[in-house]
Amino acid sequence: MAAIRRRREQPPEPTFVFKGSVKKLGSATMKHVAADRRTAVVRVDQVVEANPQLARLAGQEVTVQLSGRAKVGDQMIFHTIPLMFGDSVSVRAVKQERLTAAHAAMADAAGDPVARKASRDLQDRFANADVVVSGRVKAVTLPPGNSERRSGAALSSASSASPGRPASEHDPKWRDAIVEVDAIHKGRPAKRSITVRFPESTDVRWYRAPKFRPGQQGFFMLQKGSSEPAPKGQRAVARARTMGAPAAPGPVYMALHPADFQPFTAADAMRMTMLAPAPKKAKRHA
């Protein structure tokens, strides 16, 4: 029998991209970080993409867990995810690239790093969505088979763990938004009214996901849900698709990323995203 090769897991998406200079190797800017040969102190020369919390780190030194080789004095573009905050910041490099003329031009043209990251998030969510529609939330209900009552109070605050599954501190409290579709921008939903499942919980694992209310209007960038457990080792966001979610008749789409819903006030940004060329996808190994 031929050996079955597993698909390589995709690396996590970087949330902090910057141009930096390697100042020290085997050292750290934070006393609680154990330094080794893959740890470096890097000065942030320019922030390219970042959340608001990290956008002002230009000129400061941070600790980087390197993804490859580097030497003191190297200038690189670091694609990282934050690990620890304190009197300094520790990040892990998902990818690091030696600075080239093209990279320098990209960094110089970066503009506002927060706006740049928001634009890239929007493009990524559109590219990865199974369905993109614009429309209005008609109602928010409990998923089928849920034991909660449909009273307004219960719907807004009670736990929605599926029957027989104990509640936990990370219980997503699943809700179903019934969305009346006005226009289809990607994919082919079978009906003009679709079900969008989202976590009502404000727990640290779920607070950034969209929270829908009747009457909300905008663009929905959605991925198909599944009642099967997610494979071990995938990112938490991927596992979140099914955690405690009861099965529902007919297609169910998921909204878990903050960029998955864009109000109509973001129409210009959405129009630019839909007109932009599709990004090249990384090759997957069967």
pLDDT band at 266 (very low <50, low <70, confident <90, very high): confident
Residues 132 and 270 in one domain: yes
- The total of structural domains in the chain comes to 2
Domain span at 33: 16-111
The residue out of 59, 76, 111 marking a domain boundary is 111
Q: Is the pLDDT of residue 95 over 80?
A: yes
246-256 pLDDT, tens digit per residue, is 444 468 999 99
Residues 140, 238, single domain; the answer is yes
Specify whether 136 is located in the same domain as 103. Answer: no
**pLDDT reported for residue 277:** 61
Residue 176 lies in a domain: yes
The pairing of strands 89-98 and 75-85 is: antiparallel
- Indicate the average pLDDT of the chain: 77
Tokens of 107: 């960094």
Same domain, 155 and 241: yes
Least confident among 64-78, 95-109, 118-132, 224-238 = 224-238
Domain assignment present for 175? yes
- CB-based contacts of 6, cutoff 8 Å, min separation 6: none
pLDDT value at residue 123: 80
- Would the pLDDT of 161 be above 70? no
End-to-end alpha-carbon separation of the chain, Å?
Answer: 17
Of the three residues 81, 111, 141, the one that is the final residue of a domain is 111
| Strand duo 61-65 + 89-98: pairing | parallel
CATH of the domain at 225: 2.40.50
- Angle ∠(247,248,254) on CA atoms, nearest 5: 90
